[in-house]
Amino acid sequence: MDVINRLSVGIASARSQILSILILLLTLFSTSIYASVSDFHDVEKALSKGKFNEKRGAVSWLVTSNNENAEIILNGLLNRKVAYDKANKNLWLLKEKSAVRLYDQQRVEDAKPLRLKKVTINNSVRKAIKEGLARLELSAPDSQKRLDAINRLMTSGLDAPTSKALTELRTTEKNESVKQAIELALAAHALSSATLLSDEAVLSHIALLGDSAHPYAQQVLNKAKSENNSPAVSKAITLALTELDQHQRLMQGVETLYFGISLGSVLVLAGIGLAITFGVMGVINMAHGELVMIGAYCTYVMQQLLPNDTGLALLLSIPAAFVVAGAVGMLIERTVIRHLYGRPLETLLATFGISLILQQAVRSIFSPLNRSVSTPDFMSGMLEISPMLSLTWNRLYIIGFCLIVFFGLLMVLKKTPLGLQVRAVSQNRAMARAMGVRSERVDVMTFGIGAGVAGIAGVALSQLTNVGPNMGQAYIIDSFMVVVFGGVGNLWGTLVAGLSLGVFNKLLEPWAGAVLAKILVLVFIILFIQKRPKGLFPQRGRMAEG
């Protein structure tokens, strides 16, 4: 038994020695590569060659040389915008048609005669570039940039020079969030590296990682748990992981709720126009989805007219979609629906035929292919609430947009003469006509407003999905479910029903799947309507019983 123990110790010692020699050789090899790059001309030569080790050396020189073009070159390499000419090996930054020589900033309007060849990189060079950019951003004046750089460096794994740089930055950093990120990165590096630490230091690092609520902390602690044999340290790691798991489940619940509310906002936008026309006029409008589609195509057309300013194009699409979809809705009411009042089945069939006509018209004008609509810069990206919870800006804007549309429509119906007439007609058409209300005018205006709101919904939907001739069909059933569940003609009911169904759907999706979740929601509404035929908030009026 003693011989076996000695043999195992000898094997372990030999392995450690071999590993040390390999690390030393790798370090010497890397040093020799980086030492061969001493100025910008060496960078040009290295990047124009096909050897990726030399390219990593060029990246390292750019990061440590304080070159004014370092960040531009590194970002250009990532985006495949850096090229070189074969004759002089000069580096050029590619624009749309022109190019800029990085050595002296000379600009050439037509880059074709130069016959430039793009610099190629592999995954190891790409990783070195990302780490290099993060190191450059450590000295950025913007605290958010420094924070993002520290997080990227931490998750990619710190090396000795970067760890030293963070230690130096910790003494001069004044922003508390950045300081906490530095402490977390250093603690994660200390636990994941082979550095010998005292039990007190290890326990301190574990406590810091457990309180961080950072996903990377879980990876570091799980690795440390598998490599550590100390009972006290193992217990501390287990407690820290339990705390992180609880926080992660909480953040997942918040994220599910957020996705549910955003889906519900889409359902409210799609259904609120239908709630008006169905509640006031009693019309089952199967072409409502196509009015949503028209609003989405208005967004696409506006972006074609203003290709260089997607933000302004999106803002102008809102009134444009309301006017165009509203005009189409009023035309439908004046030409078809006005002759079919009191005949709901014929109205349903007529509007279904209109929906097919509108779909075919869009196919003839824009082709049957889906069209993509660009998202403006202010709606792109994520809002980071915590390291484990990030919310997309586009969905957050849609939630706010839904509330603005809802309360704006509510004010129109409550505070304007048209709103008063709409409410009068919805409650008792004959009495309203006896009081001098022109019910035909109210009908066409109501249908126009409902169609216009459907067009606005299409603007919002264009930021979440592709624009196509069939996009309206995906929301017509959902719109009717929202209206019937909330109460026909009741705006508050539409809001509550839309948000409730959105959250309910997202809660079911993780274990039931997207298709089965929709089926379960539909079954729930069927059972609910059997108990409460008038919905959550019954509307008093000519559509109600009694």
CA atoms within 13 A on the CB side of 296: 31
| Residue 541 confidence (pLDDT) | 46
Question: At 272, is the pLDDT very low, low, confident or very high (cuts 50, 70, 90)?
Answer: confident
pTM for the structure as a whole = 0.70
Which of 106-115, 275-284, 354-363 is modeled with the greatest confidence?
Answer: 354-363
Query: Beta 117-118 vs 91-94: how paired, if at all?
Result: unpaired
137 has a pLDDT exceeding 80? no
Mean pLDDT of 37-59: 79
Question: At 194, is the pLDDT very low, low, confident or very high (cuts 50, 70, 90)?
Answer: low
The DSSP annotation for 342-391 comes to: T-HHHHHHHHHHHHHHHHHHHHHHH-SS-B--PPPGGGSSEEEEETTEEE
Which of 59-63, 229-233, 522-526 is modeled with the greatest confidence?
Answer: 522-526
Q: What is the three-class DSSP state of 392?
A: strand
Mean pLDDT of 265-289: 81
Q: In sequence order, what are the residues at sequence separation of 6 or more whose Cβ sits closer than 8 angstroms to the Cβ of residue 457?
A: 266, 269, 270, 272, 273, 292, 295, 475
Q: In sequence order, what are the residues at sequence separation of 6 or more whose Cβ sits closer than 8 angstroms to the Cβ of residue 120?
A: 50
Q: Rounded to 5 degrees, what are φ and ψ at 99?
A: -150, 150
The DSSP annotation for 58-115 comes to: HHHHHHHTT-TTHHHHHHHHHTT-EEE-TTT--EEEE-SS-EEETTT--EES--GGGT
Report pLDDT digits (tens) over 351-401: 889 999 999 999 999 888 888 888 888 888 888 787 788 888 888 999 999
Structural domains of the chain ordered from first start:
27-124 (no CATH), 139-229 (no CATH), 255-359+382-531 (1.10.3470)
* Nearest-angstrom CA–CA distance, 81 and 292: 40
Cβ proximity of 36 and 82 under 8 Å: no
- Residue 384 pairs with which residues in a beta bridge? 390
Q: What is the three-class DSSP state of 446?
A: helix
* Nearest-angstrom CA–CA distance, 58 and 52: 10
* Nearest-angstrom CA–CA distance, 311 and 122: 35
Handedness of CA 493, 476, 267, 336 (dihedral sign): negative
Question: At 320, is the pLDDT very low, low, confident or very high (cuts 50, 70, 90)?
Answer: very high
- Going by C-alpha positions, the residue among 478, 486, 479, 487 that lies closest to residue 518 is 478
